[in-house]
Amino acid sequence: MPTWGHGLRAKSALALLLACLLALLPAAFFAWRAFDEVKTHLGEGYARNFTELHRERILGPIARELALAHRLADSVTIRHWLRDERAPSRQAQAREEAEGFRRAFRDHSYFLASSGSLDYYYNDPAQDYSAAPRYRLDPQKADDAWFFSTLAAAPRVNINVNPDRWLKQAKVWLNVVIEDDGRRLGIAGTGLDLSRFMKEFIDAGIAGLTPMIIDRSGVIQLHPDTRLIALGSGARHDAEARTLASLLADAAERDALHAALDRAAATPGTVEQLWVTLDGGRRLLSLSYLDELRWYVLTAVDLSVAEIVDRGWVQGAAAGFALLIVLMLASFSFAVDRLVLRPLKALHHSALALTRGETVRLPPPGRDELGDLSRAFGTMAAKIRAHTDELEDKVRTRTEALQAANTAMSAAQKKVRDSIEYASLIQRALLPDQRLSELLGPHHFALWRPRDTVGGDFYLFRAEGGHNLLGIVDCAGHGVPGALMTMLARAAFDDAMNRIGLERPAALLAHADRTLRGMLQASQLPRAIATNMDAGLVCVDRGTRRILFAGAKISLYWSDGDTVAEIPGVRRALADRRQAEFVEHSLALPAGATCYLVTDGYLDQAGGEHGFGLGNSRFAELLRTIAQRPMAEQAQALDQALEAHRGHHPQLDDITILAFRID
């Protein structure tokens, strides 16, 4: 056999090996580019979701404190005293009124500053209570400029981050002007400890994430780097104050930032995003405007540091890709030897065998020693090869189409699943479990079991002064539609509580009903879509041990272990086709009695031998047997009773029970 044939085969194998390597290089490059684009897309979603969540976490506590500060500033007793500060009786009444507000404020502190006497009054738990002013304000001193600039400004409210020179405390001060028939008698408000506020809302402790707050002028109010905070800028105009725009070196980025701020202010609640150069690196900036506070909430994300994608997964994928390349090269080398070099040698022996008249498998036509034999049977081989290639192309085309369809379907399912799981985290975070634990402790329990990952049930809790408001809401539908309806319902009830207070449950239901009707009418939903919701609200007066209840298709149950009573709500739901007249029930509970609010998902759950619902009667008898137990044991007993009744039947609806006891 001539030696040139062996040389040709070796060169062919080497050429194929080099071609494989060259094909892998662009594949690796495009794979890395695709991964980088996916990481950027995930980072934008991560920054947007974090900013929205951060916005709600900040808005809730401060909005509550501002509402209390407004009520303190609008107090008739406080205004009467400021008209004549030296009247002993009025001063005593004002002190008693302000002390009640002090206990309700988050930091248990308040301040009053008089525009007449310029006296500054302040009380908190850390200092002895005193009727005397802490100090007197001086218009010539820069530290007191906040008072005079606030009185002179048009808005009644401003939020100022500043240390007090006499109290030796740095706080986020909430200032509300006290007005009386056009006169500005002074300023009232409270403060949130700056270090605590920073720890809860600014110091996220997440690598690559920098939350911050700026005001309408772009001045930095709160930042993890306290050196950048423009102290006192919230109550006076300071041309030298550090702004976020001043941290950007590029004029185009500053213009883009101002445009994004204007868009966010025009549509409060939305999130704007842009890329800027900040802290010496490229940052994704997400921002949202809080119209109630005249603040912007911002999040700067360094995608090169933030763990948008799990590092373990990336390292594992890289190792797997490297291993795949090694395996491909090894497989290719083996295949070249097995499928090219060995068959060539075998084909040479076959050609020799053909000369002897033996029946052998013929090689395809080529330029080497197999060419003579292949061309002798070229016509037959060409037909067979064409038929085989056609079949293989059809199989390959259909296989690739199926693989592409399966890949797209898997990706879509994962996106939907991940979105629903994240929505569940957000919905759970909106439930008032922490406040319930802080104020009611072991005297309450809440069972919240959505039928799907997210659901249409949620519960409410708010405390102001000597009153607590507890409630549950059951929106039509479950799963994602029900969860979206809870967002509308939550906004409507928050607006009702902010405007009306807690002491009139029936008025709260009526206000929420009107708000929801306006929302749904504006959205022009089809009539076939159910948008109504059941609700039950209880206002507890801790001082008198009396409760006020109003319900829309939800009843209030109470039991002391001997008696079980049901206080029914009206028979129409919120946002029903016909508007309901909500009725308020007042009652005094015996000592040790437990109150229960329950949605129909528990009462209507199918189970037992015939698949009937649990029902009100069995529920009431169950309450009689457990009412005197500790609240945690009651929750466990209700859960076990439901599971025993349900058996193999699936959960049909979202289930919520909120129970509390007045001691």
pLDDT digits (tens, 9 = 90+) for 247-300: 888 889 889 989 999 998 898 889 999 899 888 888 899 999 988 778 898 888
Among 368-382, 473-487, 525-539, 621-635, name the one with the lowest average pLDDT. Answer: 368-382
Q: Beta strands of 209-301 (E only): which ranges?
A: 209-215, 220-222, 272-278, 281-290, 295-301
570 within 8 A of 552, measured Cβ to Cβ: yes
CA distance 267 to 258: 14
- Per-residue pLDDT, 530: 75
- Per-residue pLDDT, 4: 43
**b/e map 264-292, b = 16+ CB within 10 Å:** bbeeeeebbeeebebeeeebbbbbbbbee
CA distance 426 to 53: 8
First CA to last CA distance, the chain: 105
Cα Dmax for the chain? 133
pLDDT digits (tens, 9 = 90+) for 120-178: 888 888 765 556 788 899 899 888 888 888 888 878 888 888 777 666 777 888 889 99
Q: Around 106, how many Cα atoms within 13 Å sit in the side-chain half-sphere? A: 23
Band of residue 506 on the pLDDT scale cut at 50, 70, 90: very high
The per-type count for the chain, helices as H runs and strands as E runs, is 16, 23
Quick one: tokens of 178?
């006290």
CA distance 174 to 188: 8
72 within 8 A of 176, measured Cβ to Cβ: yes
Average pLDDT over residues 421-438: 88
Residue scoring higher pLDDT (232 or 577): 577
Residue 102 — left, alpha, or beta (φ > 0 → left; ψ -120 to 50 → alpha)? alpha
**b/e map 324-357, b = 16+ CB within 10 Å:** eeeeeeeebeeebeeeeeebbeebbebbeebeee
**What's the mean pLDDT when you consider all of the chain?**
82
Q: 3-state DSSP call for residue 627?
A: coil
Average pLDDT over residues 314-339: 64
- Per-residue pLDDT, 435: 92
CA distance 574 to 510: 8
pLDDT at 377 over 50: no
Instruction: Please tell me which of 162-166, 228-232, 309-313, 386-390 the model is most confident about, judged by mean pLDDT.
Output: 228-232
Quick one: tokens of 121?
């009054």
Band of residue 448 on the pLDDT scale cut at 50, 70, 90: very high
Band of residue 333 on the pLDDT scale cut at 50, 70, 90: low
Residue scoring higher pLDDT (51 or 659): 659
Share of the chain above pLDDT 90, in %: 29
Q: 3-state DSSP call for residue 171?
A: strand
Band of residue 628 on the pLDDT scale cut at 50, 70, 90: very high
Q: Is 392 exposed, middle or buried (0-12, 13-18, 19+ CB in 10 A)?
A: exposed
72 within 8 A of 110, measured Cβ to Cβ: yes
pLDDT digits (tens, 9 = 90+) for 31-73: 656 656 766 777 788 888 888 887 888 888 888 888 998 998 8
Instruction: Please tell me which of 21-35, 56-70, 239-253, 643-657 the model is most confident about, judged by mean pLDDT.
Output: 643-657
Band of residue 590 on the pLDDT scale cut at 50, 70, 90: confident
Quick one: tokens of 604?
């209507």
pLDDT digits (tens, 9 = 90+) for 546-558: 999 999 999 999 9
Average pLDDT over residues 343-367: 60
Q: 3-state DSSP call for residue 610?
A: coil
pLDDT at 11 over 60: no
Quick one: tokens of 265?
């202010």
Residue in 653, 639, 553, 564 with CA at minimum distance from that of residue 604: 653
538 within 8 A of 444, measured Cβ to Cβ: no
Among 282-291, 439-448, 535-544, name the one with the lowest average pLDDT. Answer: 282-291
pLDDT at 528 over 80: no
The radius of gyration of the chain's CA atoms, rounded to the nearest angstrom, is 36
Band of residue 539 on the pLDDT scale cut at 50, 70, 90: very high
The pTM score is 0.44
Q: Which are the contacts of 582, defined by CB distance < 8 A and separation ≥ 6?
A: 505, 506, 509, 510, 513, 550, 552, 570
Distances (CA, A) of 617 to 23, 531, 614: 74, 29, 8
DSSP H helices, 74-152, are 76-83, 88-104, 145-152
Among 199-213, 317-331, 384-398, 635-649, name the one with the lowest average pLDDT. Answer: 317-331
Q: Compute, in degrees rounded to 10, the torsion defined by CA atoms 59, 65, 70, 76.
A: 160
- Per-residue pLDDT, 347: 58
203 within 8 A of 213, measured Cβ to Cβ: no
Average pLDDT over residues 361-385: 56
pLDDT at 341 over 70: no
- Per-residue pLDDT, 381: 47
CA distance 403 to 383: 30
Average pLDDT over residues 639-656: 93
pLDDT at 495 over 60: yes
pLDDT digits (tens, 9 = 90+) for 173-213: 888 999 988 889 899 999 888 777 777 777 767 777 888 88
- Per-residue pLDDT, 344: 59
Residue scoring higher pLDDT (40 or 302): 302
